[in-house]
Structure 1
Amino acid sequence: MGRAIVRPGQFLGVGSWTLRWDGQLLTRIDNRSRIALSVRGVDFRLPSGKALLDRVDVDLAAGSLTAVVGPSGAGKSTLFSVLTGARGTTAGAVTY
């Protein structure tokens, strides 16, 4: 961990929070996203028919911080490419 001097008027980021130091008080700045994400029944299949995602359901609240973890080949990159629209779904819907 490093250290830094925060001068009055400067901002400090901690996780998903932004704080402003005025010289006496830290004030939280509300810059959280207002966009929620809903995933319902999402499938993604290769042209060969192999399922890479199968009936995925998840809700992500606006402003939340979520981790997707798993071993290599678990489908994390496929999931993110579907969530961002880089790949289409075979079934289901992603709404925000």
Structure 2
Amino acid sequence: MIDDYTTNGISFETARNLLFNAGAKKVILLALGRYKKGREGIYQYENYEFKGDITTNKYGYKLLSREYIYGNYDDSAREEVKRIYEILNK
């Protein structure tokens, strides 16, 4: 999955859990930027248990665990994002 920006990772974590629940063996998530720096930009790594058919509105889920991951903001990553942009737009 590629996303332009991430804030806390909740959308990524939802998609990651849904893909693994559907049988994916490996999921790679790539965000090209981050909206918040420091303590406010904590990534929330979450694991869910799904019950029912997730392709309909007849399912439920339960949060099994949550881990807060504190990363370092890296301004030099801008060059990497620029290179990825160039590769994707050739």
What TM-score, normalized by structure 2, do the two folds share? 0.23
Q: If you compute each CA radius of gyration, which structure gives the higher value, 1 or 2?
A: 1
- Greater helix percent: which structure? 2
